[in-house]
Structure 1
C-alpha cells in the first residue's frame, strides 16, 4: 500500500520495531495444512519475517511485496538459501505456475488486498488440498494500565482517524471479513479464529494458539507507533512538526507518550525521580484474526 511504498517511509525502522509472528501462529497454520510442503508464498512479505519463520518447513519460499525498499530489508535479514524475494502485487503473480503452491500465507498484509482479485489468483496458483492463511493483528491493549490504554485507543481511533489509509483500515475494523474467502465451490474447510483481549462482542472465538502478546518498553512502543502507516501519513501532512528525538517541540506520538506518563502514577513517579521513561516495562496484547481455507 502507498505508505509503505513511499520513498520516505522508514523500512529499516519497520524491520527493527515490528514484532515477528510468534511460533505458535506458525504451528497453528502448519497443523491445519495437509498438503505437501514443497512451495510456499508469503504475500506482502515486508521484511520477510513470515518467510523466515517458515523456511525450515518448506522446500522453497517466495516472499513477494510491491515495495522494493521492504524487499531490500528482507534480503538483508534473510540467510536461508531456500527463501527468495520478488517485487510483485499479491493480486498478480505471473511468475507462479498454475496449481503449484502448497501454502500461501499473508501476515499483516491481507487488509491491503483487493479481495476479488486476490482470491481469483489464489484459485489459480494453489494446488488441490493446498492452504491459504491470512493473519492480522492490531488494536493494542496496554495490559494493567487503564489510562495509558484509553489514551492509546483515542490516539488510534480519534487522533489518527483521518490518516489511516483506506480501505485497509475499514477491512481491519470489520475483523478482516471483507477479505474472507466466499468461494465455496473451489475452497473448503473455511476457518476463522479470533483472539480479542478487549472482550468485544464480535470475537467469535478466543484461542491461545493465535494470541499475540508483546513484552516491551515504553520506548519500544513509541518506536513501534512511529512505523504505523497512519503516523507516516500524519507526518506527511505536518512536515514542520518535528519530534522531540529530532530536536523539535514534539509531534503527535510525543503528545501521546506524555499523556500516558502523566496519567499513570507509577510511570509519572519514575520520570519525576529522574528515571528514563523509555525503559519503563509494559505488556501489550492485540486483537488477532486468522483466516484459513483449503483448496478443493
Structure 2
C-alpha cells in the first residue's frame, strides 16, 4: 500500500499502536492446516511465508512452529522494523526454539525472485494486507508456491466499534467511510481504494481460487475454500453470509485500551497521514478545549508528554466527539436493567474503553 512505503510514515509508531491478533485466530488456522486432506500428503511445518508482513505482528506466532519463515513486504521501512523486532525477540528465545527468518522487499503478486522453487511452502499467510492484492495474480502464485498439503490463510480486521457505546457507531462510520475529500469531519475519502472498500466489506469481494484458476488437476487444486467470519453482530453483506463454505463465529478480536491508546491507534491510519499531506494546516488548529484541562492533569500524573493530546486536528476532534458521546450515551448491558436508561460513563484520558474488530479469514489448501 503506497502510504506505508513513504519515508514520512513511521513504522515504529505503527508497530506500537495497532491491535494484536488473538491466539485463538492462529489456533483456528493451524487446526485447519493440521487437518489436511484425506488421501493427500500430511501437513508439514518446514516453511511459512508472511505476505505483507508489515512490522511482523502476524509473523511472531509462527516462531517455533515452522522451521523457517520468509517475511515479504513492499515497504523497506516496515521490513526493517520487522527485522528489528523479530531478531530482538529471537535473542531472548532458548536455543533451538526460534525459527529462521529471511526478509524480502517485494509484492505479493510476483514471488519468483523470493521463492523461485514451486511447491515449497507449507503455510502462506497475509494479515491486514490482502485487501490490496490483485487476486488474478495472487491465486496463481499461491497455487505455485504451496506444496501439496500446504495451506493459505488470508485475513483482515474491519471497522472498529465500541460495544459498550453503540451510539458511537454512526460517528465512527462517518469518520472512516465518508466520501467527501474536502470534509473536515471524515478521512474516509483519503483511504486508498478499492482496497479499503474490500476491507470494510470483510473480503466478500475476493474471488474464490477456483473462479480464477479453474482446474489444475495435474498439479493439484486449491480446495476446501472457506470464508470464516469472527464477526458476532457485525453485519456481513448479503447474500454472502449464506453462501456455501461460510462460517460465522463470535467476535474474537478485542482490546481493553485507554482513551489515550485509542488516539494513538487513530493516528496510525494511512488515511489520516494522507489527509494531512493534503491539508497540513489542519495540524495547526487551536486546541480543542473539551476534556483538555483534566487530560493535561492526568498526563502530568503519569509523566506523559502532554503535546500528544493537544491540538485540534481532525483525529483529535473525532476522538473527543466519541468521548463526549460515550460520556453521556446509552450503555449496552447497563446493570440497572432499565430500558433506555442513561448513565455517566468514564471517558477520561486514562479510563479504559472496550474495543472490538470483526475479522474475516479466507482459508484454502492445496490438494
CA contact (8 A) 2:119 2:144 kept: yes
CA contact (8 A) 2:122 2:147 kept: yes
Q: CA, structure 1 residues 180+21, in 2 after alignment: closer, same or farther (shift >3 Å)?
A: farther
Corresponding residue SS for 2:82: helix
1:284 corresponds to which residue?
355
1:232 corresponds to which residue?
273
Deviations 1:238-274 (A, max 9, x none): 1122276469741111111121222233699788xxx
Q: Is 1:162 the equivalent of 2:189?
A: yes
Deviations 1:9-53 (A, max 9, x none): 111111001122211111000000032010000000000111111
Q: 1:129 deviation in Å?
A: 1.6
Q: How many pairs align? A: 291
1:27 corresponds to which residue?
27
Within 1, Cα distance between the matches of 2:235 and 2:157?
15
Q: Is 1:63 the equivalent of 2:71?
A: yes
2:248 corresponds to which residue?
206
- TM-score (norm: length of structure 1): 0.91
Q: 1:151 deviation in Å?
A: 2.0
Within 2, Cα distance between the matches of 1:37 and 1:201?
33
Q: CA, structure 1 residues 187+52, in 2 after alignment: closer, same or farther (shift >3 Å)?
A: same
RMSD: 2.2
CA contact (8 A) 1:141 1:197 kept: no
Within 2, Cα distance between the matches of 1:63 and 1:201?
31
**Unmatched 5+ stretches in structure 2:** 37-42, 91-98, 179-185, 216-220, 242-246, 288-306, 330-342
Q: Which has the larger radius of gyration?
A: 2
Within 2, Cα distance between the matches of 1:248 and 1:211?
33
**Structure with more strand by fraction:** 1
Deviations 1:30-83 (A, max 9, x none): 000032010000000000111111111101001100001001111111133512
1:123 corresponds, among 126, 129, 143, to: 143
CA contact (8 A) 2:121 2:147 kept: yes
- TM-score (norm: length of structure 2): 0.74
Corresponding residue SS for 2:160: strand
1:95 corresponds, among 95, 114, 119, to: 114
CA contact (8 A) 1:197 1:286 kept: no
Higher mean C-alpha displacement, 129-138 vs 258-267: 258-267
Write the mapping of 1:13-24 to structure 2, written as runs, cut at 5 A. 13-24=13-24
Q: 1:139 deviation in Å?
A: 0.9
**Structure with more helix by fraction:** 1
Within 2, Cα distance between the matches of 1:66 and 1:20?
21
2:127 corresponds to which residue?
107
Within 1, Cα distance between the matches of 2:66 and 2:208?
24
Q: CA, structure 1 residues 280+151, in 2 after alignment: closer, same or farther (shift >3 Å)?
A: farther
Q: 1:148 deviation in Å?
A: 3.1
